[in-house]
């Protein structure tokens, strides 16, 4: 009962603020061989990394960030720049 009651009072970010790296920014199958993931839209304030890949995996040159059949060859500059600016460990 408590979860249902508390869930009714939940508030979420506006949908325009959030984009999923996996579903909105990553390129489609085979396109990801030649194009890096897209840049978030101007209204985006939060990029959700849910499940795999993790943001650190995408930024780190030594790790493969995609699982087959995806390629994960291209590292988006905006992710690398973010980690270079805000991460305690430099990638």
Give the CA count within 13 Å in the CB-facing half-sphere of 11. 1
Express each pLDDT in 38-64 by its tens digit. 999 999 999 999 988 888 888 887 777
Torsion of the alpha carbons at 83, 48, 78 and 33, rounded to the nearest 10: 110
Express each pLDDT in 61-75 by its tens digit. 777 788 888 888 888
Q: Is residue 13 part of a domain?
A: no
What is the pLDDT at residue 1?
54
Q: Is residue 34 part of a domain?
A: yes
Phi then psi dihedrals of residue 55, to 5 deg: -55, -40
Express each pLDDT in 5-45 by its tens digit. 666 777 788 999 999 999 999 998 889 888 889 999 999 99
What is the overall mean pLDDT for the chain? Answer: 84
Distance CA 80, CA 71 (A): 18
CA distances from 44 to 14, 39, 41 (A): 10, 10, 5
- Domains in the chain, number: 1
The boundaries of the domain holding residue 47 are 19-86
Q: Is residue 7 part of a domain?
A: no
What is the pLDDT at residue 24?
94
Q: Is residue 3 part of a domain?
A: no
């Amino acid at each position: 009962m408590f979860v249902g009651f508390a869930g009714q009072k939940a508030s979420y970010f506006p949908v325009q603020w959030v984009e999923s790296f996996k579903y909105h920014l990553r390129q489609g199958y085979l396109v990801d061989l030649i194009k890096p993931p897209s840049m978030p839209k101007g209204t985006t304030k939060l990029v959700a990394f849910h499940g795999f890949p993790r943001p650190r995996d995408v930024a780190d040159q030594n790790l493969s960030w995609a699982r087959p059949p995806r390629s994960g060859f291209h590292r988006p500059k905006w992710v690398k720049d973010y980690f270079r600016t805000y991460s305690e460990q430099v990638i």
